[in-house]
């Protein structure tokens, strides 16, 4: 019996013993193409020599120094790199150890900002249905994933939810992108007015929705209109790029493509690429100055924030993305992946939608393409898809509840940025084989 409390104790898991580039290897010698980077984490693939060396060098020099006593050069260098890359004046980087912590820090920073500037009545957080922001209680509370929230509802602080921007499912027949974006911005405005404009602190959204709905990008101008509503009422915009950030969409910050600058942005998975646990929350000058010029102290913190070894890994990952021109590859391979998936399965009766940005791709599975009717949730098609793909030597990140937390199935692909054209071809072949195994035509 295993003494590890696995997340799904009844599941028989192979033992991972190695990783090379696009592949993970188990103790039986079986090789798997890592087409989802775990949960969109492994942006550089596995065993990258530059990152390994950076970690080894840092550990040999200094593994950890508590941030209430010291700063470290490596955390300063990483923050400089991120601040320079981030849009607008997102110049201040608060390091944490993962995505949920980044979201918690963003929520608390937003709240403290309003306390500092003399608007302590601002307490409401508005987020979207069909979103995921993490599993700690604050992040879970603002998340809109009904299934994940349900058992913990009595413990969750109050949060408010509006519609996601989910064109395939929720745009009306004949509605233009622009009319759809405006309808959603109007809905947010109505929610702010309902709660009382001077009581709302922040609106939180994933720039591109990840795990809950499967790589759903917003329609054009959606975030510009959302930004305008937030600005009108002094509400902060928090973009969660834990999954979509750090190059996954072909941009280091996914919101660059949407032409907006949030007040706070969270990043994690692709920041350290899986080599170390690390996340960060970036904020603008206005927020930072309010804290520094006010109480002078952000009332938050964890033991491992700004961990030197984690920062060294993340710095090497981010430098490699720039030095190796990997964002161009993400865009090109992303186009190829969507194009080849459409060619191979676009006419499959159970493929409803193929979507995404860069190497962040979702395939939504349906019972009927014309009506978009979902497969029976009791069939757990997503789970079968994951297991079958694994048998076929392909790691994917499928989920159920795409539509409302219960109905719907999708498969998320998030291969490493180092993928070659041939790698993408192999992923599509194994994906098509898995689809035909699970849902024969
Ligand atoms: C958008 C988003 N935010 C937050 C999180 C939580 O990150 P973590 O699992 O590192 O705590 C996730 C994880 O999937 C995510 O996709």
Please choose from 7, 132, 207, 360 the residue to mutate so as to test ligand 1's pocket, defined by most ligand atoms within 8 A of CB.
Answer: 132
User: Has residue 5 been placed in a domain?
Assistant: no
Q: How far is the CA of 102 from the centre of ligand 1 (A)?
A: 9
Q: Give the pLDDT of residue 101.
A: 98
pLDDT of 18 above 90: yes
d(CA 425, CA 22): 13
Q: What is the pLDDT of residues 221-232, one digit of tens each?
A: 999 999 999 999
Buried residues in 359-380 as b, exposed as e (16+ CB within 10 A): bbbbbbbbbeeeeeebbeeeee
Give nearest CA residue, ligand 1 atom 8.
Answer: 99
Using 50, 70 and 90 to split pLDDT, how confident is the model at 243? very high
Q: Give the pLDDT of residue 154.
A: 97
In angstroms, the first-to-last Cα distance of the chain is 41
d(CA 343, CA 337): 10
Q: How far is the CA of 133 from the centre of ligand 1 (A)?
A: 5
Number of independent structural domains in the chain:
2
Residues 317, 348, single domain; the answer is no
For CA atoms 267, 269, 272, 276, give the dihedral sign: positive
Q: Give the pLDDT of residue 146.
A: 85
User: Has residue 6 been placed in a domain?
Assistant: no
Q: Which of 276, 306, 323 is the last residue of a domain?
A: 323
Q: How far is the CA of 356 from the centre of ligand 1 (A)?
A: 18
Find the domain containing 423 and state its range: 16-48+325-438
Residues 398-403, mean pLDDT to the nearest whole number = 97
Residues 360, 211, single domain; the answer is no
Q: What is the pLDDT of residues 116-158, one digit of tens each?
A: 999 999 999 999 999 999 999 999 999 998 889 999 999 999 9
Q: How far is the CA of 242 from the centre of ligand 1 (A)?
A: 6
User: Has residue 9 been placed in a domain?
Assistant: no
> 140 in the Ramachandran plot: left (φ > 0), alpha (ψ -120 to 50) or beta?
alpha
Strands across the sheet with 409-413, in order?
A: 351-357, 360-365, 409-413, 397-400
Residues 361, 317, single domain; the answer is no
Residue 206 alpha carbon, nearest atom of ligand 1: 1
d(CA 289, CA 439): 55
Q: What is the pLDDT of residues 259-295, one digit of tens each?
A: 999 999 999 999 999 999 999 999 999 999 999 999 9
Residues 102, 41, single domain; the answer is no
User: Domain holding 280: CATH number?
Assistant: 3.40.640.10
Using 50, 70 and 90 to split pLDDT, how confident is the model at 32? very high
Cα 110 to chain centroid, rounded: 20
Q: What is the pLDDT of residues 164-217, one digit of tens each?
A: 999 999 999 999 999 999 999 999 999 999 999 999 999 999 999 999 999 999
**98 closest CA partner among 283, 314, 379:** 314
User: Model pTM?
Assistant: 0.98
Residues 227, 253, single domain; the answer is yes
Residues 209, 315, single domain; the answer is yes
Using 50, 70 and 90 to split pLDDT, how confident is the model at 306? very high
Using 50, 70 and 90 to split pLDDT, how confident is the model at 346? confident
Using DSSP's 3-state secondary structure scheme, residue 150 falls into helix
Which residues fall within 8 angstroms of residue 374, CB to CB, at 6 or more apart? Answer: 366, 367, 402, 403, 407, 408, 409
Q: How far is the CA of 132 from the centre of ligand 1 (A)?
A: 7
Residues 281, 414, single domain; the answer is no
Q: Which of 323, 339, 373 is the last residue of a domain?
A: 323
Q: How far is the CA of 65 from the centre of ligand 1 (A)?
A: 26
Using 50, 70 and 90 to split pLDDT, how confident is the model at 112? very high
- Mean per-residue pLDDT of the chain: 97
C-alpha torsion 13→17→21→22, nearest 10: -20
Cα distances (Å, whole numbers) of residue 229 to 95, 216, 235, 283, 284: 29, 22, 8, 19, 18
Kindly report each contact of residues 218-222 with a partner whose C-beta sits within 8 Å and lies 24 or more positions away, as own/partner.
Answer: 218/165, 218/181, 218/258, 219/165, 219/167, 219/171, 219/177, 219/178, 219/180, 219/181, 220/177, 220/178, 220/181, 221/177, 221/178, 221/181, 222/165, 222/180, 222/181, 222/184, 222/185, 222/258
Give the chain's radius of gyration (CA, Å). 21
User: Has residue 8 been placed in a domain?
Assistant: no
Residues 232, 338, single domain; the answer is no
What secondary structure does DSSP assign to 181-231, as a single string? HHHHHHHHHHHHHHH-GGGEEEEEEESSB-TTTTSBPPPTTHHHHHHHHHH
User: Has residue 400 been placed in a domain?
Assistant: yes
Using 50, 70 and 90 to split pLDDT, how confident is the model at 1? confident
User: Has residue 4 been placed in a domain?
Assistant: no
Residues 166, 111, single domain; the answer is yes
Pairing, β 394-395 against β 31-34: parallel
Give the whole-number percent of the chain exceeding pLDDT 90.
97
User: Domain holding 380: CATH number?
Assistant: 3.90.1150.10
Residues 366, 314, single domain; the answer is no
**390 closest CA partner among 338, 360, 433, 358:** 433
Please choose from 142, 243, 248, 254 the residue to mutate so as to test ligand 1's pocket, defined by most ligand atoms within 8 A of CB.
Answer: 243
Q: How far is the CA of 205 from the centre of ligand 1 (A)?
A: 12
Which residues fall within 8 angstroms of residue 267, CB to CB, at 6 or more apart? Answer: 82, 102, 241, 242, 245, 246, 253, 279, 280, 282
Q: Which residues line ligand 1 (CB under 6 A)?
A: 39, 98-100, 103, 132-134, 206, 210-211, 240, 242-243, 268
> 338 in the Ramachandran plot: left (φ > 0), alpha (ψ -120 to 50) or beta?
alpha
Give nearest CA residue, ligand 1 atom 5.
Answer: 134
Residues 219, 345, single domain; the answer is no
d(CA 6, CA 274): 19
Q: Which of 279, 296, 323 is the last residue of a domain?
A: 323
User: Has residue 3 been placed in a domain?
Assistant: no
d(CA 129, CA 216): 13
Residues 59, 44, single domain; the answer is no
235 is written with which tokens? 């509400």
Q: Around 216, how many Cα atoms within 13 Å sit in the side-chain half-sphere? A: 25
User: Has residue 10 been placed in a domain?
Assistant: no
Residues 28-38, mean pLDDT to the nearest whole number = 97
Q: How far is the CA of 279 from the centre of ligand 1 (A)?
A: 10
Using 50, 70 and 90 to split pLDDT, how confident is the model at 248? very high
Residues 16-39, mean pLDDT to the nearest whole number = 98
Residue 269 alpha carbon, nearest atom of ligand 1: 10
Cα distances (Å, whole numbers) of residue 18 to 4, 24, 47, 272, 274: 20, 6, 8, 18, 14
Residue 131 alpha carbon, nearest atom of ligand 1: 1
d(CA 92, CA 280): 10
**141 closest CA partner among 21, 52, 131:** 131
């Amino acid at each position: 019996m295993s003494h590890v409390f696995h997340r799904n104790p009844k599941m028989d898991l192979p033992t991972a013993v190695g990783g090379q580039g696009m592949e993970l290897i188990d103790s039986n010698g079986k090789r798997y193409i890592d087409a989802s980077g775990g949960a969109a984490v492994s942006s550089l693939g596995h065993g990258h020599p530059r990152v390994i060396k950076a970690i080894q060098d840092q550990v040999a020099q200094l593994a950890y120094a508590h941030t209430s006593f010291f700063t470290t050069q490596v955390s300063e260098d990483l923050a400089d790199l991120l601040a320079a890359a981030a849009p607008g004046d997102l110049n201040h980087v608060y390091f944490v150890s993962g995505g949920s912590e980044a979201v918690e820090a963003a929520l608390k920073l937003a709240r403290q900002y309003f306390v500092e500037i003399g608007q302590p009545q601002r307490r409401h957080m508005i987020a979207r249905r069909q979103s995921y922001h993490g599993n700690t209680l604050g992040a879970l509370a603002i998340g809109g994933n009904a299934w994940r929230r349900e058992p913990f509802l009595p413990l969750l602080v109050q949060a408010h939810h509006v519609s996601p921007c989910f064109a395939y499912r929720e745009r009306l027949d004949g509605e233009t992108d622009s009319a759809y974006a405006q309808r959603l911005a109007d809905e947010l405005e109505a929610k702010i007015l309902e709660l009382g404009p001077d009581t709302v602190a922040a609106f939180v959204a994933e720039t591109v929705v990840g795990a809950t709905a499967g790589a759903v990008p917003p329609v054009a101008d959606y975030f510009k209109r959302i930004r305008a509503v937030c600005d009108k009422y002094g509400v902060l915009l928090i973009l969660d790029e834990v999954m979509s950030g750090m190059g996954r969409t072909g941009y280091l910050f996914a919101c660059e493509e949407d032409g907006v600058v949030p007040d706070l942005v969270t990043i994690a998975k692709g920041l350290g690429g899986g080599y170390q646990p690390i996340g960060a929350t970036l904020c603008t000058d206005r927020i930072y100055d309010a804290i520094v010029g006010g109480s002078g102290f952000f009332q938050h913190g964890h033991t491992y924030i700004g961990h030197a070894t984690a920062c060294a890994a993340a710095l090497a990952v981010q430098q490699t993305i720039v030095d190796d021109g990997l964002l161009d590859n993400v865009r090109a391979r992303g186009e190829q992946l969507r194009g080849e998936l459409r060619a191979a399965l676009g006419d499959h009766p159970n493929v409803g939608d193929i979507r995404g940005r860069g190497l962040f791709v979702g395939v939504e599975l349906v019972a009927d393409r014309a009506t978009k009717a979902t497969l029976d949730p009791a069939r757990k098609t997503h789970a079968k898809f994951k297991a079958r793909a694994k048998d076929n030597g392909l790691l994917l990140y499928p989920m159920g509840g795409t539509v409302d937390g219960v109905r719907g199935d999708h498969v998320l692909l998030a291969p490493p940025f180092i993928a070659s054209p041939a790698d993408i071809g192999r992923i599509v072949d194994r994906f098509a084989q898995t689809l035909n195994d699970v849902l024969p035509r």
